[in-house]
């Protein structure tokens, strides 16, 4: 018997049961959509044999003709390859020459104030350079201040990135408007005491309890939003380098927004262009950089404070208006979330648009590529460069747990090399 929509029941004859069962079985036995080119366009049969029902792949010629397709319109988890879309959207809204700005203000009570705007590369060397630039800007005046104020209102806080857990792993570092050193602290033990593992960075006392709790003689800890740790740590590192540059502070580090009556004294523009930032993001697959850029582009497009939702809206609007697809599911910009979804065909469109920037990707032999890894997920997208014909874009989204990427890319390269 089966239930009717009106709550009653009706009997199904044995023949009908058999027909229904055969129909349901057929749903699980539908052939996987695979288009294999052969002959002058290469024989992709060995590559196809390595792919399963959960996987998706596409390869195209330099002029865009599809050479191989496997489940090209099935949405799959892209992992870190979604960073290519994040970068492309950021180039669209901010331009490749965009530089993040960090602003310095003073008030009438001799307080110095710093306002962050999401710069993902506020590393120690940059903070030191900022301190020197501020000292030069205020040359001829006393560098004595009361409190150091920190304005982190350009991003909403705290921002919870889906897929990020509360761990000490660098890929779980949180986002914020004013962050230094990727919100991580690199340490080691030396002569029985903990010291910084980076000569350019001091080991601040505020992180010693966490380092000791980690139970490691060497490693990294990741700062958190708890008790505004990421902002307070940034402020204390700024204070350290400002004092190294000759500034004096008699008061505390305080989190509070800049007011309209404050006087702007320096707008420090990053030494890194957005293109250079993206190159580092792709080289190291840095999730922190990706989501800083993702949130910043949302704030640029829809106004501060920056949020994940505004970044999502910005990327989806760009995909729809400029790339011509609207089925991509974006939860955040780094690929750490398993909620992200994109088809191989749409990812190929992203790659085609990204081709002028392919030099920002990792390079090995003839491949320019970006990989992605999550538990049970292996992905890779990029270009195979033929010195005579040009660049062949390809997308491989392995969503079958336990499947290795290497045999698939090996067959891809072998096939492309064999094309007449």
Per-residue pLDDT of 318-327, as tens digits, reads 999 999 999 9
pLDDT at 141: 76
Query: pLDDT-based confidence at 20, cuts 50/70/90?
Result: very low
Does position 169 have pLDDT exceeding 60, yes or no? yes
DSSP labels, 283-313:
HHT-HHHHHHHHHHHHHHHH-SSB-HHHHHH
Tokens of residue 276, six digits: 């250079």
Looking at residue 165, what is its pLDDT?
Answer: 84
CB 95 within 8 A of CB 78: no
Q: What share of the chain is helix, strand, coil (3-state, %, to 5)?
A: 40, 25, 40
pLDDT at 168: 75
The C-alpha atoms of residue 408 and residue 302 are separated, in whole angstroms, by 41
Q: Considering only CA atoms, which of 311, 400, 401 is closest in space to residue 82?
A: 311
Residue 281 has pLDDT above 70, yes or no: yes
Q: CA 182 to CA 220: how far, in whole Å?
A: 11
User: Is residue 415 within 8 Å of residue 47, measured between CB atoms?
Assistant: yes
Nearest-angstrom CA–CA distance, 365 and 74:
30
Summarised one tens digit per residue, pLDDT across range 38-84 is 445 689 999 999 999 999 999 999 999 999 999 999 999 999 999 99
Residue 410, pLDDT above cutoff 90: yes
Residues, the chain, total? 420
Tell me if domain 34-95+276-418 and domain 101-271 are identical in fold: no
Tokens representing residue 274 in the block: 């957005």
What is the arithmetic mean of pLDDT over 390-395?
98
At residue 35, the pLDDT reads 59
Q: Residue 166's pLDDT is what?
A: 79
Q: What CA–CA distance (Å, rounded) separates 317 from 323?
A: 9
* Beta carbons of 78 and 327 less than 8 angstroms apart: no
Cβ–Cβ under 8 Å, residues 411 and 46: yes
- Maximum pairwise Cα distance, the chain: 97
Question: Alpha-carbon distance 395 to 349, whole Å?
Answer: 10
* Measured distance CA(343)–CA(77) in Å, rounded: 9
Helix (H) or strand (E) holding 413: helix 406-418
What is the arithmetic mean of pLDDT over 147-153? 98
Does position 275 have pLDDT exceeding 70, yes or no? yes
DSSP state of 111: -
pLDDT greater than 70 at residue 34:
no
Alpha-helical segments (H) within 163-254? 208-214, 229-244
Residue 15 has pLDDT above 70, yes or no: no
The secondary structure of 147-171, three-state, reads: CEEEECCCECCCCCCCCCCCCCCHH
Beta bridge partners of 184: 222
* Summary count for the chain: helices (H), strands (E): 11, 19
* Structure confidence by residue, pLDDT tens digits, 337-376: 999 999 999 999 999 999 999 999 999 999 999 999 999 9
Query: Residue 269: what are its φ and ψ, rounded to 5°?
Result: -90, 135
Q: Is the pLDDT of residue 6 over 80?
A: no
Is residue 16's pLDDT more than 80?
A: no
Q: What are phi and psi of 326, to 5 degrees?
A: -135, 15
In 10 A of CB 352, how many CB atoms?
A: 15
pLDDT above 90 for 171: no
Q: What is the structure's pLDDT at 415? A: 97
Cα(419)–Cα(412) distance, rounded to whole angstroms?
11
Q: Lowest-pLDDT range, 168-177, 330-339, 411-420?
A: 168-177
- Give CA torsion, residues 178, 181, 182, 187, to 10 deg: -130
pLDDT tens by residue, 295-315: 999 999 999 999 999 999 999
Phi, psi of 186 (to 5 degrees): -100, 125
| Whole-angstrom distance, CA of residue 294 vs CA of residue 84 | 11
Q: What angle do CA 291, 198, 133 make, to 5 degrees?
A: 70
Residue-level pLDDT at 392:
98
Domain 101-271 has CATH 3.50.80.20: yes
Would you state the torsion angle of the CA atoms of residues 100, 106, 112, 115, taken in this order, to the nearest 10 degrees?
Answer: -30
Give mean pLDDT, residues 264-276: 98
Q: Which CATH number fits domain 34-95+276-418: 3.40.710.10, 2.60.40.1250, 3.30.56.10, 3.40.50.1580?
A: 3.40.710.10
Rounded CA-CA distance 203/305 in Å is: 31
Average pLDDT over residues 281-286: 97
Parallel, antiparallel, or unpaired: how do β-strands 148-151 and 253-255 relate?
Answer: parallel
The domain locations on the chain are 34-95+276-418, 101-271
pLDDT at 214 over 90: yes
């Amino acid at each position: 018997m089966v239930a009717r929509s009106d709550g009653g029941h009706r009997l199904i004859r044995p023949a009908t049961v058999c027909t229904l069962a055969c129909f349901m079985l057929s749903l699980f036995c539908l052939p996987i959509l695979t288009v294999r080119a052969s002959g002058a366009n290469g024989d992709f049969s060995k590559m196809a044999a390595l792919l399963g029902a959960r996987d998706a792949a596409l390869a195209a010629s330099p002029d865009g003709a599809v050479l191989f397709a496997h489940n090209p319109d099935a949405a799959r988890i892209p992992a870190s390859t979604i960073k290519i879309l994040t970068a492309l959207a950021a180039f669209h809204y901010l331009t490749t020459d965009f530089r993040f700005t960090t602003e310095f203000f003073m008030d009438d009570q001799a307080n110095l104030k710093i306002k962050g705007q999401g710069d993902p590369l506020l590393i120690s060397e940059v903070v030191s350079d900022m301190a020197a630039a501020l000292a030069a800007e205020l040359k001829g005046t006393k560098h004595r201040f009361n409190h150091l104020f920190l304005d982190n209102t350009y991003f909403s806080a705290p921002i919870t990135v889906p897929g990020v857990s509360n761990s000490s792993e660098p890929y779980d570092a949180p986002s914020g408007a004013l962050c230094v050193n990727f919100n991580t602290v690199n340490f080691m033990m030396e002569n029985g005491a903990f010291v910084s593992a980076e000569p350019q960075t001091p080991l601040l006392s505020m992180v010693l309890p966490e380092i000791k709790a980690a139970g490691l003689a060497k490693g990294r800890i990741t700062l958190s939003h708890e008790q505004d740790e990421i902002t307070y740590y940034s402020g204390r590192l700024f204070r350290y380098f400002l004092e190294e540059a000759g500034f004096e502070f008699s008061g505390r580090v305080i989190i509070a927004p800049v007011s309209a009556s404050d006087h702007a004294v320096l707008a420090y523009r990053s030494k890194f262009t957005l293109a250079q930032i993206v190159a580092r993001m792709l080289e190291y697959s840095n999730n922190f950089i990706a989501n800083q850029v993702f949130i910043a582009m949302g704030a640029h497009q829809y106004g501060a404070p920056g949020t994940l939702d505004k970044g999502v809206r910005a990327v989806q609007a760009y995909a729809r208006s400029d790339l011509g697809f609207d089925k991509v599911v974006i939860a955040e910009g780094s690929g750490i979330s398993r909620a992200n979804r994109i088809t191989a065909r749409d990812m190929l469109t992203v790659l085609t648009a990204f081709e002028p920037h392919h030099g920002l990707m990792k390079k090995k032999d003839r491949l320019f590529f970006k990989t992605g890894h999550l538990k049970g997920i292996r992905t890779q997208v990029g270009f195979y460069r033929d010195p005579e014909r040009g660049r062949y874009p390809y997308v491989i989204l392995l969503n079958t747990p336990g499947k290795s990427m290497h045999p698939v890319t090996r067959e891809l390269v072998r096939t492309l090399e064999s094309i007449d």
